[in-house]
Amino acid sequence: MLAVHRVNVWVHDQQVAAEFWTGTVGFELRADATFPELGGFRWLTVGPPGQAGIELVLMAIPEPPVVTREQSELIRAVTAQGLAGAIYLATDDVRRDHALLSARGVEFTEEPEARPYGLDAGFRDPSGNQVRLTQARQDGDTT
């Protein structure tokens, strides 16, 4: 059986990203290792408490010689504009978690709103990645 285990998220600053995802969002630090033999490459992962099987890999945007300078700048620009994909976080109460994260300093780009699939709100991480906070619609739910 195949299962999703890790998802790569481009970040502009790994330390800032780790602090945001652990201190602000409330995820756990899962791995933080630096490899001098790989030019100081840092493997950094976080994940939601109670969900050991899934992690976000907070990956520094690569620089030359791994990619060209132009490619690195393109990844940086696309990420900053929120166009590098989205992270979807499931919750059983969007309004509760919206209030909690707002109180912790998260600036939402979209307030909780009813959608055909449930309640949804949006914010961006410090690198610009889009994050969706989603409460799935239940049978008979009219909100």
Give 101-112 pLDDT, tens digit per residue. Answer: 999 999 999 999
pLDDT band at 126 (very low <50, low <70, confident <90, very high): very high
Domain assignment present for 141: no
Domain assignment present for 68: yes
pLDDT exceeds 70 at position 134: yes
**pLDDT mean across residues, the chain:** 95
**What pLDDT does residue 138 have?**
80
Handedness of CA 79, 83, 85, 91 (dihedral sign): positive
**What pLDDT does residue 28 have?**
98
Domain that holds residue 72: 6-136
Domain assignment present for 1: no
Domain assignment present for 62: yes
Overall domain count for the chain? 1
Collapsing DSSP to helix, strand or coil, 108 comes out as strand
CATH classification at residue 35: 3.10.180.10
Longest CA span, the chain: 57
Domain assignment present for 142: no
Domain assignment present for 126: yes
Domain assignment present for 112: yes
User: How far apart are the C-alpha atoms of 33 and 139, rounded to whole Å?
Assistant: 44
Domain assignment present for 15: yes
**What pLDDT does residue 118 have?**
96
For 85-119, b where at least 16 C-beta lie within 10 A, e where not — what string?
eebebebeebeebbeebeeeebeeeeebeeeeebb
